[in-house]
Amino acid sequence: MPISQSLITPDLALAFDIKLSALHNHCLQEIHPPIHAPSSNHDVQKGIHLNPHNSSDFADSSELGGSGPSDEPARTLKRPRLVWTPQLHKRFVDAVAHLGIKNAVPKTIMQLMSVDGLTRENVASHLQKYRLYLKRMQGLSSSGSVNGALGINGGGNVVDPATDHLFASGPMPPQFLPFVPVPAMHPYPHPRIGGSAAAVHPQMQMHNYRHVAGGPFSSGVAADGQYDHPHHFLGRQLQPSPRHRVGGGGNGGIGVGGIPPFVENLGSADGSSGGNMKILTLFPTGDD
């Protein structure tokens, strides 16, 4: 019986893929134009391209004697580890900021991000770490600092205004945070709530993306904040989620405004290496 094929094929492919991905990691990558309201839209165009790699070593990963997972069995296949590039993280942070703590749950965030291939688990995992990061920060800032300038949140915690961002919109009365954050016009409905702040530099320590895309800070995340690698797809087909994604009708509440692509500082703020890293920390100028 052909059982062996259906079974070992994915299995072997898996093993291979893992190694391959570890080597040239060709995950997903794409850019995401401002989309919106998936509820009543058929054009749920997601399109962020996460591209951890872009080496020009070899470009063909879809033809390895059929060992590639890019075959038919889109299910039961293990997808490569998601790499949270600065761009992706940015998207994430923006989504969280715009949703507010209350709605900032994995599913919602995932929907808002509208990143193809992103699963709820991915977001959940990242969110967990993100929360931890925030918590840590709060604990640190609260002790020793007696600044009246600091913002005190409902939680009674004192946070640095420069980093409070997320929490700023958390305990706050979500008069407009619930959903439909964007009026369908501006990317940032209310930046002061937590939009810009969040983007400032809440960079949890993600590994160095020395190979993010072309260059460390030269190109890669070019001025437009997106990669310029039209090709490189690969990885996942569509609908990678074994579970159901955006219910289209199930939720219907998340207005989603589409987070505009912004630039973010790639280099670590600490300038660990050399110190020549000129973190521009471009603010999302979404202030207006």
Does 128 bind DNA (CB under 7 A)? Our answer is yes
Side chain identity at 55, as an amino acid letter? S
Does 249 bind DNA (CB under 7 A)? Our answer is no
In the block, residue with structure tokens 């997808």: 79
Nearer Cβ to DNA (9/122) = 122
Does 93 bind DNA (CB under 7 A)? Our answer is no
Does 272 bind DNA (CB under 7 A)? Our answer is no
Nearer Cβ to DNA (165/236) = 236
CA 212 to each of CA 123, 127, 179, 222: distance values in angstroms, whole numbers, following the listed order:
20, 22, 32, 11
- Of the candidate spans 2-10, 79-87, 139-147, 279-287, the one that interacts with DNA by CB under 7 A turns out to be 79-87
Does 91 bind DNA (CB under 7 A)? Our answer is no
Does 231 bind DNA (CB under 7 A)? Our answer is no
The string over 126-161, giving b where at least 16 C-beta atoms fall within 10 Å of a residue's C-beta and e elsewhere, is bbeebeeebeebbeebeeeeeeeebbebeeebbbbe
Interacting residue with DNA among 108, 141, 163, 196 (CB under 7 A)? 108
Nearer Cβ to DNA (82/266) = 82
Paired strand residues for 159: 151
Does 126 bind DNA (CB under 7 A)? Our answer is yes
| C-alpha to C-alpha distance for 168 and 231, rounded to whole angstroms | 39
User: Measuring CA to CA, which residue among 263, 261, 251, 235 is closest to residue 111?
Assistant: 251
Give the list of residues 6+ apart from residue 104 with CB closer than 8 angstroms, or none: 95, 96, 127, 166
Nearer Cβ to DNA (125/186) = 125
Interacting residues with DNA between 190 and 229 (CB under 7 A)? 204-207
Give the residues lining the site for DNA (CB under 7 A). 78-79, 81-84, 105-108, 120-122, 124-129, 131, 204-207, 243-244
